[in-house]
Amino acid sequence: MANQKENRRTRIKKSIRSKVSGTAEKPRLSVFRSNTGVYAQIIDDMSGKTLVSASSKEIESKGLNIEISKNVGKKLAEKAVSNGISTVVFDRGGYLFHGKVKALAEGAREGGLKF
């Protein structure tokens, strides 16, 4: 069962990545969600470099919920804006745009990122 879920997410992720690519002007905001944390990074795919990253491990709280995901999005946006990044392309990483992934996106928008 778990293997089928992972294979499904991998298929969806490949489909998304064939359409979404980050450039220096408009980098890609990539999301990874695990059972214990949520991680986000802004990537320039042309040079293959991570420009900014944030995770739930940086936030001083136990567990993972929607509020923590929203705070990760705000923290990422704060770092990005300080590095001169204002617009990004959102890559949900094969996850549904729902719950923690949606909360992270809303937090990033509140923090000043446009996508």
DSSP letters for 61-86: -SS--HHHHHHHHHHHHHHHHHTT--
Q: Give me the chain's average pLDDT, please.
A: 92
CA angle 67, 70, 74 (to 5 degrees): 135
The tokens describing 51, both together, are: 């420009």
Phi-psi bin for 57: left (phi > 0), alpha (psi -120 to 50), beta? Answer: alpha
pLDDT tens-digit series, residues 4-60:
988 999 999 999 988 888 888 899 999 999 988 999 999 999 999 999 999 999 987
Instruction: Locate the domains of the chain by residue range.
Output: 2-111
pLDDT interval class at 61 (50, 70, 90): confident
Q: Which CATH number fits domain 2-111: 3.30.420.100, 3.30.230.10, 1.10.3720.10, 3.10.129.10?
A: 3.30.420.100
Say how far apart CA 40 and CA 34 lie, in whole Å: 12
pTM for this entry: 0.89
